[in-house]
Amino acid sequence: MNATDRASRRSLPDGVTVALSRARVRAGAAEEATRWMDMLDDRLEESVATLDRERMAIEIIFRLRDGDEDYLYWVTVHGKAGASVTDSDHALDVDHLAFDQRVRDGSWVRAEPQVLLLPNPVRAQVLAWTDHGSQPVTPSPGPEPVATAAFEGVGPRQSGQRDETR
Say if 75 falls within a structural domain: yes
> What pLDDT sits at residue 141?
47
The CATH number of the domain where 81 resides is what? Answer: 3.30.70.100
Query: CA-CA distance, 29 to 74, in Å (whole number)?
Result: 18
Least confident range of 12-16, 59-63, 91-95, 149-153: 149-153
Higher pLDDT, 160 or 2: 2
Say if 29 falls within a structural domain: yes
Say if 128 falls within a structural domain: no
Query: The domain containing residue 18 runs over which residues?
Result: 3-116
Say if 138 falls within a structural domain: no
Contact status, residue 73 vs residue 63, Cβ threshold 8 Å: yes
What's the structural domain count of the chain? 1
Say if 140 falls within a structural domain: no
Say if 165 falls within a structural domain: no
Tens-place pLDDT, residues 89-119: 999 999 999 999 999 998 899 999 999 999 9
